[in-house]
């Protein structure tokens, strides 16, 4: 039996039919997922848990070591803690770094975007220090 080649019109029809089928299947899958999410949120309200107490990152942590993090900036050799722009190395601390995030209820430190889930000392320093933009 000899197969006849498909002409352009048939190819376009089959392509459109396939695309329509895939689009409708995707729509059904998405709407079912949305229904499941809506059903779960309407029937149960999860208890709000207190966030786990964060701890300070240790200087011997692998990421901290790679960035040269020190809890006390004054303990960093002046050849490493160099002037950046108009800010002298001796004036660089976590608290005036762009990556530092103040945390309510934390004394002597805060969060750092470079160490997610960990705290850094306010008087700390690392090689990634960059002056916080003034607002």
pLDDT in tens, 24-61: 655 555 555 555 555 555 555 555 444 456 899 999 99
Closest CA to 116 of 46, 48, 61: 61
Hunting for tokens 């800010």 — which residue is that?
87
Q: Are 99 and 113 in contact (CB under 8 A)?
A: yes
Q: How far is CA 6 from CA 1, 10, 11, 21, 47, in A?
A: 15, 6, 6, 20, 60
Dist. CA 128–CA 114, nearest whole Å:
9
Closest CA to 132 of 81, 79, 92: 92
Whether 89 has a pLDDT exceeding 60, the answer reads: yes
Confidence of residue 125 (pLDDT cuts 50, 70, 90): very high
């Amino acid at each position: 039996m000899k197969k006849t080649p498909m002409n352009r019109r048939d190819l376009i029809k089959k392509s459109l039919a396939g695309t329509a089928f895939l689009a409708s299947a995707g729509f059904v899958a998405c709407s079912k997922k949305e229904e499941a999410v809506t059903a779960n949120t309407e029937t149960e309200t999860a208890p709000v848990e207190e966030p786990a107490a964060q701890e300070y990152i240790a200087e011997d942590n692998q990421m901290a070591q790679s960035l040269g993090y020190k809890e006390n900036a004054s303990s960093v050799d002046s050849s490493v803690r160099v002037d950046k722009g108009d800010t002298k190395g001796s004036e660089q601390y976590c608290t005036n770094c762009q990556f530092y995030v103040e945390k309510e209820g934390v004394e002597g430190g805060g969060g750092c975007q470079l160490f997610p889930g960990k705290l850094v000392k306010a008087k700390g320093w690392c090689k990634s220090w960059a002056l916080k933009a003034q607002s």
